[in-house]
């Protein structure tokens, strides 16, 4: 409880107070029997959020995840190639020539961290291609995360592990068969690689990989089966973009497009955002705007923390975990 006690003593106002309120609201929601969907935008996996996210999954504080394709794959990149990553703390001072030098060494930079292409991306491609081709030859199709689950649970990558596997959120999710939604997966490194293998003919049927529309259908089924008036689903959004925008729309779809009744709204909402409301961005919209779209109700607990997710998310999770 040391971290939680420190935060509650010192985090009294402004975004700090919103952090505490969101964390306590998260705990209240779970204590009342609710479930929680967490969304991951940006480069949270490369930021190694998996260290605490995996613990949240282990302790059943997270019941589903929506994330970008980048976050899906980059947790596994980190799992198998961590020792080859390079940190560039002076990234703000890099010249164009410096960036070209990183490129020549096959180091792809994400802010202050360089992902090693050969040891991370190509190593995983070599393994995942076998699973893509096998499914293709058998006439089967799977979601992107399902292919990763198959690989992780097979143990085939264990020889390459370079971090403590308990710090991989994808590995922990695979063990629990956690529901994952990954809209726009094709906008990722492995999405590009998959397209290349379809073009080259290694994978014959492009639909060996299930699509975003099928992800929405899967989410609709899960939400309908899981959400009850006495056990609603909360929505904890890290960042913005498609990882959050896509899944939150399942509720108005169920109500307005499928004309279903008795489906509760999201029962809790919190977002860590650095987007500016006045720019018209959906990611920066204050939670009340979502009432007009039929996603949240006027009485839904709503929280907005305008800050850096790499700082805020671990602190909120620490409170939820009573650390």
Cβ atoms of 205 and 280 closer than 8 Å:
no
Point out which residues pair with 235 in neighbouring strands. 37, 269
Return d(Cα 268, Cα 280) in angstroms, integer: 23
Q: Angle formed by the axes of helices 169-176 and 144-154, to 10°? A: 90
Q: Angle formed by the axes of helices 144-154 and 123-138, to 10°? A: 110
- Tell me which residue of 300, 219, 238 sits closest to 265, measured CA to CA: 300
User: Which residue reads 């058998």 in tokens?
Assistant: 138
Helix (H, G, I), strand (E, B) or coil at 128: helix
Cβ atoms of 270 and 22 closer than 8 Å:
yes
Q: Is 70 left (phi over 0), alpha (psi -120 to 50) or beta?
A: alpha
60-109: pLDDT as tens digits: 999 999 999 999 999 999 999 999 999 999 999 999 999 999 999 999 99
Model confidence at 140, pLDDT cuts 50, 70, 90, reads very high
Return d(Cα 125, Cα 212) in angstroms, integer: 21
Return d(Cα 167, Cα 145) in angstroms, integer: 18
Cβ atoms of 6 and 209 closer than 8 Å:
no
Return d(Cα 172, Cα 179) in angstroms, integer: 12
246-262: pLDDT as tens digits: 999 999 999 999 999 99
Q: Rounded to the nearest 5°, which phi and psi values hold at 3?
A: -65, -45
State the pairing for strand pair 64-67/86-87. unpaired
Cβ atoms of 32 and 149 closer than 8 Å:
no
| Assigned token pair, 235 | 């929505």
Query: Torsion angle of alpha carbons 107, 195, 184, 30, nearest 10°?
Result: -70
Residue-level pLDDT at 132: 98
Is pLDDT above 90 for 51? yes
| Assigned token pair, 68 | 């970008």
Residue-level pLDDT at 1: 86
Helix (H, G, I), strand (E, B) or coil at 87: strand
* DSSP designation for 93: G
Counting residues of the chain whose pLDDT is more than 70, the rounded percentage is: 100
Is pLDDT above 80 for 284? no
177-231: pLDDT as tens digits: 999 999 999 999 999 999 999 999 999 999 999 999 999 999 999 999 999 988 9
Cβ atoms of 319 and 4 closer than 8 Å:
yes
Average confidence (pLDDT) over 130-154: 98
Distant-in-sequence, close-in-space partners of 216: CB < 8 Å, separation ≥ 6: 183, 246, 250, 253
Helices (H), the chain: 2-10, 14-31, 50-58, 69-81, 96-104, 123-138, 144-154, 169-176, 189-200, 212-226, 242-248, 250-252, 309-320
Mean of per-residue pLDDT scores for the chain? 96
Return d(Cα 246, Cα 17) in angstroms, integer: 28
Is pLDDT above 80 for 280? no
Model confidence at 283, pLDDT cuts 50, 70, 90, reads confident
């Amino acid at each position: 409880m040391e971290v939680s006690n420190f935060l509650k003593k010192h985090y009294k106002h402004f975004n700090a107070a919103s952090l505490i309120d969101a964390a306590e609201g998260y705990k209240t929601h779970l204590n009342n029997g609710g479930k929680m969907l967490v969304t991951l935008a940006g480069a949270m996996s490369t930021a190694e959020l998996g260290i605490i996210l995996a613990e949240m999954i282990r302790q059943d504080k997270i019941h589903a995840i929506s994330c970008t394709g980048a976050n899906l794959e980059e947790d596994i990149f980190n799992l198998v190639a961590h020792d080859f990553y390079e940190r560039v703390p002076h990234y703000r001072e890099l010249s164009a020539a410096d960036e070209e030098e990183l490129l020549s060494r096959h180091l792809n930079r994400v802010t202050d961290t360089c992902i090693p292409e050969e040891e991370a991306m190509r190593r995983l491609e070599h393994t995942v291609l076998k699973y893509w081709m096998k499914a293709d030859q058998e006439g089967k199709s799977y979601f992107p995360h399902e292919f990763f689950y198959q690989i992780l649970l097979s143990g085939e990558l264990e020889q390459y592990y370079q971090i403590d596997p308990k710090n991989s959120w994808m590995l922990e999710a695979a063990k629990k068969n956690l529901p994952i939604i990954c809209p726009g997966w094709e906008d990722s490194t492995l999405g590009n690689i998959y397209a290349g293998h379809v073009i080259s003919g290694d994978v014959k049927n492009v639909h060996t990989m299930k699509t975003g529309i099928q992800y929405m259908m899967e989410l609709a089924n899960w939400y309908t089966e899981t959400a009850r008036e006495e056990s609603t689903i909360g929505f904890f959004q890290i960042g913005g973009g498609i990882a959050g925008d896509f899944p939150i729309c399942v509720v108005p779809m169920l109500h307005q497009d499928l004309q279903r009744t008795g489906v509760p709204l999201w029962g809790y909402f919190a977002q860590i955002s650095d987007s500016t409301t006045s720019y018209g961005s959906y990611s920066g919209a204050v939670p009340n705007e979502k009432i007009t779209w039929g996603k949240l109700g006027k009485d839904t607990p709503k929280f907005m923390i305008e800050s850096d997710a790499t700082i805020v998310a671990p602190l909120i999770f620490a409170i939820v975990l009573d650390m």
